[in-house]
Amino acid sequence: MSSIGLVRIASSKLIQSKIILQRCKLKQAVQITSARHASFFTYHPDKAEDFGDLGELKEMNLFKAINSAMDIALATDDSAILFGEDVGFGGVFRCSVGLQDKYGRQRVFNTPLCEQGIAGFAIGVACAGSTAIAEIQFADYIYPAFDQLVNEAAKYRYRSGNLFNCGKMTVRAPCGAVGHGAVYHSQSPEAYFAHTPGLKVVIPRGPIKAKGLLLSCIREPDPCIFLEPKVLYRSAVDKVPEGDYTLPLGKADILIEGNMSRFLKETTPCRLARPIF
């Protein structure tokens, strides 16, 4: 074989080695990026004792705490029903797992894929005096139910002069991004509802809060929208009271005392520009 042929072979092998090396580096970079996306925050557990003596504790993640809350709600209120897309087998995020087996198909059941219908049915159930726990499978799909929630549920008590209300209605929905949900499984629509008089919007920060706040919503005399951050379902773990307890709605917890204006001055790296008119 000529020297030119040997040079070509060596050059070809060198190019192949470089390609393989670049692929390995790219793969490693993708793995690192994926790991970063999957752990973009650190969950700091709550302590049950901070909320008083709430009885025996059990380690639960967020979806198990929500399951426990709905279990208690169904056990303590014979009029309570739980419904939504796929809740019968436990739901996409397993929040209702085991509840249909325990309470039967008459009280825990699937609905058609119709968010407007789910919300409308929940309003009717609550107006008739039963406790409605409705699930919208993803908060991104709550928009077809927007009219029912904003124009009907929120205004029912006001427009009837307090003769009727649908306060025994709670609508649950997983919200927020987890890094791979794309446009229709990553949205956070709470701001739309937070500006609506007549609705209470609740987002828990962890399992202890989720269980206590969900039970408060279910028993609240006003309609509530309970949004559950998907990223916390399995990553957030607390020692949660096993028994029945509620936490107050509309009351803030002071986690860190301090002067926020001083914090902003110290951490803001740029000046505010003077407006030009």
Residue 276: band (very low, low, confident or very high) from pLDDT cuts 50, 70, 90: very low
pLDDT at 258: 74
Of 115, 135, 152, 220, the catalytic one is 115
Residue 32: band (very low, low, confident or very high) from pLDDT cuts 50, 70, 90: very low
Q: Is the pLDDT of residue 99 over 60?
A: yes
Q: How far is CA 55 from CA 49, 61, 186, 242, 258, in A?
A: 10, 18, 36, 7, 32
Of 85, 152, 185, 228, the catalytic one is 185
Residues 225-241 pLDDT 10s: 999 999 999 999 999 99
Q: Ramachandran region of residue 103, left (φ > 0), alpha (ψ -120 to 50) or beta? A: alpha
CA-based nearest residue to 208, from 172, 237, 249: 237
pLDDT at 131: 98
Catalytic status, residue 185:
yes
Catalytic status, residue 152:
no
Least trusted range by pLDDT, from 10-14, 31-35, 119-123, 144-148: 31-35
Percent of the chain beyond pLDDT 90? 69
| Average pLDDT in the chain | 86
pLDDT at 51: 86
Report which listed range, 16-20, 138-142, 181-185, 250-254, is most confident.
Answer: 138-142
Q: Is the pLDDT of residue 52 over 90?
A: no
Least trusted range by pLDDT, from 7-11, 183-187, 232-236: 7-11
Residues 123-132 pLDDT 10s: 999 999 999 9
Is the distance from CB of 110 to CB of 248 less than 8 angstroms?
no
Least trusted range by pLDDT, from 41-45, 55-59, 154-158: 41-45
CA-based nearest residue to 63, from 121, 135, 167, 157: 135
Residues 140-172 pLDDT 10s: 999 999 999 999 999 999 999 999 999 999 999
pLDDT at 120: 97
**Rounded CA separation 260/204 (Å):** 23
> Which of 206 and 54 is assigned the larger pLDDT?
206
